[in-house]
Chains A and B, each alone.
Chain A
Amino acid sequence: MQLKVPEHQVAGHIAKDGKPGPLVDDKGRFFKPLQGDSRGENEVKFYESFSTNTEVPDHIRRFFPVYHGTQAVEGSDGAAMIVLENLLADYSKPSVMDVKMGSRTWYPDASEEYVQKCLKKDTGTTTVSAGFRISGFEVYDHKESSFWKPERKLLRGLKVDGARLTLRKFVSSNSLSDMGSKPDSAFVSSVYGGSNGVLTQLLELKTWFENQTLYHFNSCSILMVYENESILKGNDDDARPQVKLVDFAHVLDGNGVIDHNFLGGLCSFINFLRDILQSPDESAES
């Protein structure tokens, strides 16, 4: 089994200085190292609970990576890794964006240190103001014929207008690395819109979140993916946009309460995309 570093990871831990990062194989699987201090365990616990939870409606499962248990992997000091579906396996030139949902990334009962750390980051980003923040993205620039990934520093400094601009850039074909250029929103309808687009999928998730009290998805992200190869071939309708929830290290039991934190952020994110769909021309802001 040949394992290699994933090409298109946009957020989260990467392999660095001997510390393991995620790997992918050629069979559509993604290997995520178990993070230290019980976070990895917690994520496994979530996947185990979720994959067998009969209260999760079938149509909601499509928004979650398929879980294949844990496995010790050669070359990672025998450390266990979570085996998941590689969400990008079926894409040849995917544009990917990771958006962390919720107006707070901390939660009751977290350590004081963790709460303070999260609060600082939340107030410094669009988490508090918009209910979500863009953690990372990589987008295919059709004019440059190459992928562009911004520096993390750039993302952390984004305010509401910057987030809005970035969400437009994500579905644009022109000069993306030039922060001063106006995005053309060329693929907004094929990616955000349509009966299988991102917005439709998010609205389905929203309905579930209005009632589900099973889990609180603290610090989870929504991953948006779409295919550029088909767009390059002139098939804009074949963009295959997809929404997935990822990163479950801090998921807790719902205990009879809905995940109002995630839901509020999700509704805000939905509204941003709706605005972009309704007025792809940046200057027509309501």
Chain B
Amino acid sequence: MLKVPEHQVAGHIASDGKLGPLVDDQGRFFKPLQGDSRGEHEAKFYESFTSNKMVPDHIHRYFPVYHGTQLVEASDGSGKLLHLVLDDVVSGYSNPSVMDVKIGSRTWYPDVSEGYFKKCIKKDRETTTVSLGFRVSGFKIFDHQESSFWRAEKKLVLGYNADGARLALRKFVSSNSPADSNSTPPNCAFASEVYGGPNGILVQLLELKEWFETQTLYHFNSCSILMTYENESILMKGGDDDVQAARAQVKLVDFAHVLDGSGVIDHNFLGGLCSFIKFIKDILQSVDKRDETETSPLENGN
């Protein structure tokens, strides 16, 4: 039985009459191959990537596992349509917070149509893409106060400037109510567990960065990094394995515009990735500093 994914934060969403991805109960994600060549192109990428011996083993974990294509009943009722079959990257989570960040200071690339170029560059300039080298496409977080999910409005997200993006990245790892927009600053309660630590987001991003400094296989135009972590275990906090419990995960997604590297590194993605890494590092540093000043009075008192 196929149903609409619960945790999708960006891209087309399947709903009444709309075409979008579906999931089954076996942890598989079905992404419809759309009319224009984008779907085919994405399938071609997955086929190439899956069998590419030049991709180091430790890098495969950052990509969804591909299971070929399959004819499936489309979500908009239009009949059977070819779908990409992937591992659902959030299927192992019961209450995941998820954020989609489009990486790169431009989403267009050489040789695209004039129309597509104009559309992309307009959006790139209106969002943080040009200024920061990445933009937040969407996110949902578990509101620990309300015990429910809070989803950021798309219009809000696309209107972010640098401070907005910074705030969103802090909200993403906070336990105070995200709906409390500007009054209470986000407390970054889970920053160390999600962003930091030996298996956290930062470590994973740094591993990706190292690969991007030399890989000339693919140019990941318009791709996103999807960050996910588990709230369930944080809810039941108190154990010794808080760091593992959050199971923060980085995945690259959306490969409709990937091109051959042709001997050049993906400097567009890499520049944006480095900028994103700096934002995460800054949040971790500010949390460390805050924790230091909070504990030192105690030490001084002794």
A275 and B213 CA atoms in complex are apart in Å by 12
A130 and B266 CA atoms in complex are apart in Å by 9
User: How many of chain A's residues touch chain B, expressed as a range?
Assistant: 20 to 34
Query: Any chain A CB within 8 A of the CB of B162?
Result: yes
A55 and B138 CA atoms in complex are apart in Å by 35
Can you report 23 A-B residue pairs in the complex whose CB atoms are below 8 A from each other? A103-B105, A108-B130, A123-B110, A129-B110, A130-B264, A130-B267, A160-B262, A160-B263, A160-B264, A213-B278, A256-B162, A257-B131, A258-B278, A260-B274, A260-B275, A261-B133, A261-B271, A265-B267, A268-B264, A268-B265, A271-B264, A275-B263, A286-B263
Query: Any chain B CB within 8 A of the CB of A145?
Result: no
Q: Which of A104, A260, A285 contacts B263 (CB 8 A)?
A: A285
Of the candidates A108, A257, A286, the one having the most CB atoms from chain B within 10 angstroms of its own CB is A257
Smallest CB separation, B126 vs chain A (Å) = 10
Q: Interface digits, A116-155 against B, CB 8 Å rule (1 contact, 0 not)? A: 0000000100001111000000000000000000000000
Q: Which of A255, A261, A274 contacts B162 (CB 8 A)?
A: A255
The residues of A that contact B125 with a CB separation of less than 8 Å are 108
A263 and B132 CA atoms in complex are apart in Å by 12
- Report yes or no: A271 in contact with B271, Cβ–Cβ below 8 A: no
Smallest CB separation, B264 vs chain A (Å) = 5
The residues of A that contact B274 with a CB separation of less than 8 Å are 210, 258, 260, 263-264
- Report yes or no: B162 in contact with A264, Cβ–Cβ below 8 A: no
Smallest CB separation, A147 vs chain B (Å) = 30
**Which A-chain residue is minimally distant from B271 (CB atoms)?**
A264
Q: A-B pairs with the 5 shortest C-beta distances? A: A264-B271, A131-B267, A260-B133, A264-B267, A260-B271
Query: Any chain B CB within 8 A of the CB of A267?
Result: yes
Task: Decide: A211 near B263, CB < 8 A? Known: A103-B268, A260-B271, A271-B214.
Answer: no
- Report yes or no: A104 in contact with B262, Cβ–Cβ below 8 A: no
The residues of B that contact A131 with a CB separation of less than 8 Å are 264, 267-268, 271
Query: Any chain A CB within 8 A of the CB of B270?
Result: yes
The residues of A that contact B130 with a CB separation of less than 8 Å are 108
- Report yes or no: A210 in contact with B267, Cβ–Cβ below 8 A: no
Q: Which of B105, B270, B272, B282 contacts A104 (CB 8 A)?
A: B105
A-B CB contacts (within 8 Å), total count: 83
Q: Which of B162, B213, B268, B272 contacts A271 (CB 8 A)?
A: B213
**Which A-chain residue is minimally distant from B166 (CB atoms)?**
A256
Q: Interface digits, A244-286 against B, CB 8 Å rule (1 contact, 0 not)? A: 0000000000011110110111011011001100000000011
- Report yes or no: B133 in contact with A271, Cβ–Cβ below 8 A: no
Query: Any chain A CB within 8 A of the CB of B106?
Result: yes
The residues of A that contact B70 with a CB separation of less than 8 Å are none
The residues of A that contact B262 with a CB separation of less than 8 Å are 160
A129 and B214 CA atoms in complex are apart in Å by 16
The residues of A that contact B105 with a CB separation of less than 8 Å are 103-104, 260-261, 264
The residues of B that contact A213 with a CB separation of less than 8 Å are 278
- Report yes or no: A210 in contact with B278, Cβ–Cβ below 8 A: yes
Smallest CB separation, B109 vs chain A (Å) = 8
- Report yes or no: B132 in contact with A260, Cβ–Cβ below 8 A: yes
Query: Any chain A CB within 8 A of the CB of B216?
Result: yes
A131 and B278 CA atoms in complex are apart in Å by 20
**Docked complex: B248-282 residues within 8 A CB-CB of A:** 262-265, 267-268, 270-272, 274-275, 277-278, 282
Task: Decide: A108 near B131, CB < 8 A? Known: A128-B110, A263-B274, A271-B213.
Answer: yes
A130 and B168 CA atoms in complex are apart in Å by 32
Smallest CB separation, B152 vs chain A (Å) = 21
**Docked complex: B216-268 residues within 8 A CB-CB of A:** 216, 262-265, 267-268
**Which A-chain residue is minimally distant from B209 (CB atoms)?**
A210
A267 and B133 CA atoms in complex are apart in Å by 15
- Report yes or no: A257 in contact with B132, Cβ–Cβ below 8 A: yes
20 extra interface residue pairs, beta carbon distance < 8 Å, beyond A258-B274, A260-B271, A264-B272? A103-B106, A103-B271, A123-B110, A128-B110, A160-B263, A256-B162, A257-B132, A257-B275, A257-B278, A260-B105, A263-B274, A264-B268, A264-B270, A267-B265, A267-B267, A267-B270, A267-B271, A271-B214, A274-B214, A285-B263
